[in-house]
């Protein structure tokens, strides 16, 4: 079944508590990357155009249940207002009599942004009192915060148990795109996994091994596989305690006919600031670390991606924040963008690489989910998704 969409709800003149994921990086009092704000715009605009009185709630950073001056939402409100072309006032808090009074006075087609919901100690505990106080601000609940859907918090689950709950456009798009990777993905299905640790993605690897035709590894996690196969990896980041697990995964891939590829050459250096050198996987100097896949590996991986009808990519292929070690990740970004198949990217660093290369518009779905995306692909039930009722025939239009 598909979650019921906010577009099937009659919101004209009604207060809508919209949970969005506007957890953006800040540079002082400015938003450094507004991608998540832009991703929320379709739902916000639709609600406003249909005459809703939108009470918007988000978290920002990790304030641990108390106010933190550097994590107030004013910069988010400024940027959102600029994109909407209208002022977005910030409430004096998250809940309380003053906030309720302001929400009650909201005009149709206007929006109010609550203060950082994680300033409230009850948020991350899914506190029932906080849930009721949030629900008192609105008549309808819309959850568009897929990036927080793996958390059973007051603003993602508690409110959905009190108010009529619907999914926003981004939530629906995320579930549709990621769900497509789990059910009937077009073959060949190629997954590219990077990042620092195998341990962070064991669940995803287990799930994908039953679905993909090829699994391509890069980043620090690839070093664990190289070491498991007997290569000397110098001082490269790895998880030696997972060597047996890595060998098991290699064996499972072989049994299933899955091409599990690890780098054939790597870019190494004595330190991230040291001189870079490209060497074969069997020639990593003892005093060096592997910081990127090499050009031969990038060409091999790109050729595999070019044959795919479905691609999922999560995690950088090296230390992509350093120019000397960004070429592999950039090559994969270009290969995924050029692929004619369905392409899905998740994970902050891989998404950043695509944006830095100006390739975002050439990807079918760029996930905002981070940890939520990985948990979804592991097959876990996400509390924020499960809290939204399935659509019914009665939800085909405004109700």
Chain position carrying tokens 């999914």: 167
From the list 122, 195, 219, 348, the catalytic residue is 348
Residue 62 labelled as part of a binding site? yes
DSSP state of 335: H
In the sheet with 110-113, reading across from the earlier edge strand, the strands are 110-113, 53-57, 15-19, 140-143, 165-167
Is residue 350 part of an annotated ligand binding site? yes
Catalytic hit among 109, 179, 203, 371: 371
70 is in an annotated binding site: no
21 assigned ligand-binding residue: yes
- Across 281-359, the runs of DSSP E, i.e. the strands, are 289-293, 310-314, 342-346
Say if residue 347 carries a ligand binding annotation.
Answer: yes
Is 251 annotated to bind a ligand? Reply is no
| 328 is an annotated ligand-binding site residue | no
22 is in an annotated binding site: yes
Residue 155 sits at φ, ψ, to 5 deg, of -85, -5
- Whether 348 is catalytic: yes
Distance CA 367, CA 314 (A): 10
How long, in residues, is the chain? 399
Q: What residue has token string 């110098």?
A: 234
Instruction: Please name the residue that has the structure tokens 């994109």.
Output: 83
The catalytic position among 19, 36, 211, 330 is 36
Task: Establish whether 197 is a catalytic residue.
Answer: yes
**Annotation says 371 is catalytic:** yes
Q: Residue 244 CA to chain centroid, in angstroms?
A: 30
Asked whether residue 83 is marked as a ligand-binding residue, the answer is: no
Q: Confirm whether residue 60 is marked as ligand binding.
A: yes
Q: Is 23 annotated as ligand-binding? A: yes
Catalytic position from the list 38, 125, 132, 197: 197
> Are residues 77 and 38 in contact, defined by beta-carbon separation less than 8 angstroms?
no
Which positions are annotated as active-site residues? 36, 197, 348, 371
The binding site consists of 21-23, 36, 59-62, 118, 151, 201, 321, 347-350
The binding site for (2R)-3-phosphoglycerate consists of 36, 118, 151
The binding site for substrate consists of 21-23, 36, 59-62, 118, 151
The binding site for ATP consists of 201, 321, 347-350
């Amino acid at each position: 079944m598909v979650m019921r969409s906010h577009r099937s709800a009659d919101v004209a003149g009604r207060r809508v508590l919209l949970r969005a994921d506007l957890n953006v990086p800040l540079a002082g009092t400015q938003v450094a990357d507004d991608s998540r704000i832009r991703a929320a715009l379709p739902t916000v605009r639709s609600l406003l155009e249909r005459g809703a009185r939108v009470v918007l709630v988000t978290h920002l950073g990790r304030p641990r249940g108390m106010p933190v001056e550097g994590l107030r939402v004013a910069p988010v409100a400024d940027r959102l207002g600029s994109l909407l072309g209208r002022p977005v006032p910030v409430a004096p808090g998250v809940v309380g009599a003053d906030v309720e009074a302001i929400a009650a006075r909201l005009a149709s087609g206007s929006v109010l942004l609550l203060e950082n919901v994680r300033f409230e100690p009850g948020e991350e505990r899914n506190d029932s009192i906080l849930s009721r106080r949030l629900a008192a601000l609105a008549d309808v609940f819309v959850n568009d915060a897929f990036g927080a859907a793996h958390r059973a918090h007051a603003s993602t689950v508690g409110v959905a148990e009190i108010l009529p709950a619907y999914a926003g456009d981004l939530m629906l798009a995320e579930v549709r795109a990621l769900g497509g990777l789990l059910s009937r993905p077009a073959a060949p299905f190629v997954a590219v996994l990077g990042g620092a640790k195998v341990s962070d993605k064991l669940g995803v690897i287990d799930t994908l091994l039953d679905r993909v035709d090829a699994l391509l590894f890069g980043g620090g996690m690839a070093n664990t596989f190289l070491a498991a196969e007997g290569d000397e990896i110098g001082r490269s980041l790895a998880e030696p305690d997972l060597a047996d697990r890595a060998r098991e995964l290699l064996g499972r891939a072989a049994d299933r006919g899955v091409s599990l590829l690890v780098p054939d050459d790597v870019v190494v250096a004595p330190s991230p600031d040291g001189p870079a050198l490209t060497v074969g996987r069997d020639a990593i100097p003892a005093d060096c670390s592997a910081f990127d896949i090499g050009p031969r590996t990038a060409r091999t991986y790109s050729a595999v991606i070019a044959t795919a009808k479905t691609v999922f990519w999560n995690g950088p292929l090296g230390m992509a924040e350093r120019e000397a070690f960004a070429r592999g990740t950039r090559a994969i970004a270009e290969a995924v963008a050029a692929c004619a198949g369905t392409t899905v990217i998740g994970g902050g660093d891989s998404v950043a690489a695509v944006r830095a290369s100006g390739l975002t518009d050439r990807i079918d779905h760029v996930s905002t989910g981070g940890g939520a995306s990985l948990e979804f692909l592991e097959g876990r039930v996400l509390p924020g998704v499960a809290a939204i009722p399935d659509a019914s025939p009665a939800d085909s239009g405004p109700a």
